[in-house]
Every structure is written in structure tokens, then in C-alpha cells.
Amino acid sequence: MDIVFHPGQNGTDPWVEFYPYTPSATAGYAFMGIFGVSTLAHIVAMFPFRAAYFIPLILGGVCETFGYYGRAWSHESRFEIKSWALQEMLILCAPPLVAATVYMVLGRIIRSFGAEHLSSMRPKMLTFVFVMNDVLCFCTQLGGAGVQMTGDEQVMNIGKKVVLAGLIFSLVVFTFFVLIAAKFHRRLKKMPTPLLIQNPDLPWHRYMWAIYISCFALMLRNLVRTIQFGAARTADVNTKEAYIYVFDAFLMFFAMLVLLVYHPGRLIKKARRLTKTGMFDQPLENGNSAHVLLTDYEMGQHLSTK
């Protein structure tokens, strides 16, 4: 961790050194612009794809934008608590918001394909469980970063441990999520639903890989942050600012970029349109329901027998 508490001596007030280096204003403003543009692009894409579930990701992008403004501001003084607190809280809290969108995307893909029976968890339960765990990670990291603004050495050390616990927990949650997603992917590939049988050219694999890649970027970011919070102040990960931009800023931007280029809303919208125009529910012998696709001729024949 890169914070050092200096107790006052000979009647002087205590002070805190928040950085072991002078933060780069150029890099800060550059990523402020990058995240600002990425966030605006996601806002624009949200409307045609009717992807309101991307709001958490957009909020995460806003946090990243102003967080890197805080780092640029910190260039003026590495002892200023306001600029440090702005970047620390917003940059730490952005990943859980992006992760929340990823969790919701998988549940919507499962439902849009009518593949609930292939998922290890019911889509609604899957979304609820992982989003709630994500909220816990968010609150943990927000609280841990927040208490460090007190300037009290003991409280700041507690805050560091809280943030570290939140980062470790988020890695565990991500691991379970990726395993569930991979299991669903494998089952759907072996036992495609009627929608995929009738539409074999539907490029759903690439969107699943977009989820994996985004998760990997977020997991790598959290892993490096975990190492940072657990390492000594003199470790390279704490003394070289490049680590923040390579293993945090870039990875967060990359995750947002992948979900923009391969926007899951495009797949979900297309799958729902195909379902709405050509599928209906037909009960099976075991009491469950399945989607059956009828051609116009078959539908006419079906109605003529009524």
C-alpha cells in the first residue's frame, strides 16, 4: 500500500504521504478522456439495444472518468487528501459496478435462448446472488477507502485490510461466476435449444467469449490490486505508477471496450425478436415447457385442424 502516516514531531501536526511518487497529470487526463468517451459510447448503445441493465457499467465508467481526474489533480500535491480520496474511492468502486452488468448479461442471455434448464442456477437467482455479492464487494471497498480519509494511522490500516478483504472476495465470486458461465456454455453447445437449432448462424459463442474476456480482465485487475494492497510500500507495484495504468486503467477500459464491440444487447435483442415472431410454448410430457418453432405453412395447417 502506498500510504505512509507521519506523526507530528515537536508539536507539529501529523501528515500523510499518499503517494511514493508524483502522479502523472498527462496519464490521468488521458485516461479521463478515454473513459469519458467509452462511457458516452455505452450510453448511446444502451438505447437501440434497450439495455438498461448496462446502467451499472455506465456508472462504473463515470467513476473511472472522475477517478482519473483525481489522479491528474493529485499531480499538484501528493499530500492533498481531497484529490487522493476522489481517485481512491472512485477507481476502487468502479469494477464492482462493471461486474454487476456482466452478471446480469448472462441471466438475460439464458432467458432469451429459452435455456433455463441448462443453467446450474435459475437465471433470476443467478443474477440476484451474484449482484448481491457484488454489492457486498462494492460496499466493502467503498467503506475501506472511505475510512482512510480520516488521516488516523490505525483507522487507515483497518481500511486497508477491509479493501484487501473485498478484493479477495471479489476474486472468489468471479471464479464461481466464470465456472457457471462455462458450464452453461458447454451444455448449450451440446444441447442447443430450438431457437439455436432453427438459427444455427446466430453468433452466440462470440458473446459468451466477450463475457469471459471481460471477466478475465476484471479478475487480473483485482489480483494486481490485491498484491498492491498486500505488498510493502517499497515493492515495485507500489513505487511505479505504470502498474496502475497497465493493470488497472487499461484492463478496465479493455473490459468496457469488449462489451461495446460485442454488445450483448445486440444478441439478446435479436434472440427475443426471433422468439417473438416464430415461437410459442408447448407443454411437454414431464410438465415442463419448451419453445417450438413453426413455419407459416405449419401454423396454417395447425389452425385448419381446429
The C-alpha atoms of residue 32 and residue 25 are separated, in whole angstroms, by: 10
In a domain, 286, yes or no: no
- The predicted pLDDT at position 37 comes to 98
Spell out the alpha helix ranges (H) of the chain: 25-46, 55-73, 81-112, 123-147, 153-190, 194-198, 204-230, 236-239, 242-244, 250-261, 264-278, 296-304
> What is the separation of C-alpha 209 from the centre of its chain, rounded to a whole number of angstroms?
15
Give the cell for residue 150.
480520516
Q: At what angle are helices 81-112 and 204-230 packed, to 10 degrees? A: 150
- The predicted pLDDT at position 149 comes to 62
- The predicted pLDDT at position 78 comes to 78
| Structural domain containing residue 81 | 4-273
In a domain, 278, yes or no: no
- The predicted pLDDT at position 287 comes to 39
Per-residue model confidence as pLDDT tens for the chain (306 residues): 556 666 656 555 666 777 888 999 999 999 999 999 999 999 999 999 999 999 999 999 999 999 999 999 999 887 788 888 899 889 988 999 999 999 999 999 999 999 999 999 888 888 888 888 888 887 887 777 666 666 566 766 777 788 888 888 889 999 999 999 999 999 999 999 999 999 989 999 999 999 999 999 999 999 999 898 887 777 888 889 999 999 999 999 999 999 999 999 999 999 999 888 864 343 333 434 444 444 443 334 433 444
Q: What is the pTM of this model?
A: 0.84
- The predicted pLDDT at position 90 comes to 92
Instruction: Give first-to-last CA distance, the chain, whole Å.
Output: 74
In a domain, 279, yes or no: no
The C-alpha atoms of residue 123 and residue 239 are separated, in whole angstroms, by: 43
In a domain, 91, yes or no: yes
In a domain, 302, yes or no: no
Give the cell for residue 87.
481517485
In a domain, 299, yes or no: no
Number of domains in the chain: 1
Q: How many residues does the chain have?
A: 306
In a domain, 306, yes or no: no
CATH code, 107: 1.20.1070
What φ, ψ does residue 15 adopt, rounded to 5°? -145, 160
In a domain, 282, yes or no: no
What φ, ψ does residue 232 adopt, rounded to 5°? -70, 160
